[in-house]
Amino acid sequence: MNVTETEFKFDPKAMTAKAGPVTFQIKNSGAVEHNFIVEGTSIKVEGIQPGQTKPATATFAAGTYKVLCTIPGHQEAGMTGTLTVTQ
């Protein structure tokens, strides 16, 4: 799943996937560093520099997960999203 980060959003903001292994390709198309965290999972990709793409893979159970950038001020500026995983 391709995810693009900019100031201060994820594209797509609402993500969907099937239960099981999911691989993200996270591209920072912004001008400042970002990270990519999926709460409740092992996905914690730190230090994604402008122009850089980093992969992340985890196995997901069905449910809804919060996606965010935890760099100070980014989440508060709206850099959040959701991942909905279906069976």
**Domain map (residue ranges) of the chain:** 2-86
Query: Region 61-82: what's the mean pLDDT?
Result: 98
According to DSSP, the β-strands at 14-18 and 34-38 are unpaired
Q: What is the pTM of this model?
A: 0.96
1 close to 17: Cβ distance less than 8 angstroms = yes
CATH of domain 2-86: 2.60.40.420
pLDDT of residue 44: 98
Query: Region 36-60: what's the mean pLDDT?
Result: 97
Q: How confident is the model at residue 75 (pLDDT cuts 50, 70, 90)?
A: very high
Among the listed residues 30, 87, 69, the one whose alpha carbon sits nearest the alpha carbon of residue 78: 69
36 close to 5: Cβ distance less than 8 angstroms = yes
Q: How confident is the model at residue 25 (pLDDT cuts 50, 70, 90)?
A: very high
pLDDT of residue 85: 98
